[in-house]
Amino acid sequence: MKFFVDGADVQEIKALSEIGMVDGITTNPSIIAKTGKNFFKVIEELCALTQGPVSAEVTALDAKTMIQEALKLRTIASNVCIKVPLTEEGLKACYELRQKDIMVNVTLCFSALQAIMAAKAGATYVSPFIGRLDDIGHNGLHLIEEICQIYDQYPEFSTEVLAASVRSPFQIREIALMGADVVTAPSSIIRSMVKHPLTDKGIVDFLKDWEKTGQSIL
Ligand code: E4P
């Protein structure tokens, strides 16, 4: 299972890299806007942090302009993965970019039918958004399960399921059980996965007993 960090905080991503948790990075226009920095500069910085794919999203709505934007974004670094929305124009851009062997992440996926189309268009990744479906009373995790099940039945589909819009560590457990290829989550959620009160208590208890021995390892 691959972990992508959903965000643009360089220090946070570096910290996660040091424990082997960064296989790639995803961004979107909202994340870029929050940085207050130049889009190209941010993507360049992020691309230097990982050899894995860094998703940069196009903002055009028509395929022709999406492709122009994609080609410009690809001049930043070879690990830029182009993010296109799951619309007919987005699929058209995806299909053409894949002919040029450019990585494409088809984003804003909210149904299994859309995910089938992304796979048919040759997407490298499809990003179903869990949290945003939950927000409107649907079941985001169920969508991940459906897509994994469908893709598993068709070996000709090489698109990887990239579970996105993750809001809790519990969801990552569920996503892993379903067999999604990749999860992208904010660094805070990935870091919270390590926490367990019994681990902390165990350390305290062991150290108390160790002190009684009067020994030291170094
Ligand atoms: C994924 O690529 C998206 O950037 C992200 O997961 C969106 O998450 P949100 O719904 O929490 O904004």
pLDDT digits (tens, 9 = 90+) for 99-147: 999 999 999 999 999 999 999 999 999 999 999 999 999 999 999 999 9
> Atom 10 in ligand 1: which residue has the minimum CA distance?
165
Indicate the pTM of the whole model.
0.97
What confidence tier does 98 reach under pLDDT thresholds 50, 70, 90?
Answer: very high
User: Which positions are annotated as active-site residues?
Assistant: 83
How far is the CA of 158 from the CAs of 35, 119, 123, 125, 212, in angstroms? Answer: 33, 7, 8, 9, 57
Q: Give pLDDT, residue 83.
A: 98
How far apart are the C-alpha atoms of 133 and 83, rounded to whole Å?
Answer: 20
pLDDT tens track for 186-211: 999 999 999 999 999 999 999 999 99
Task: Give yes or no for residue 57 CB within 6 A of ligand 1.
Answer: no
How far apart are the C-alpha atoms of 200 and 91, rounded to whole Å?
Answer: 48
CATH of the structural domain 2-213, one choice from 3.40.630.30, 3.20.20.70, 3.40.50.1000, 3.30.450.40: 3.20.20.70
Mutate to test the pocket of ligand 1, among 3, 28, 175 (most ligand atoms within 8 A of CB): 28
pLDDT tens track for 39-49: 999 999 999 99
CA of 6 to the centre of ligand 1 (A): 7
Task: Give yes or no for residue 171 CB within 6 A of ligand 1.
Answer: no
Indicate the residue type of 65.
T
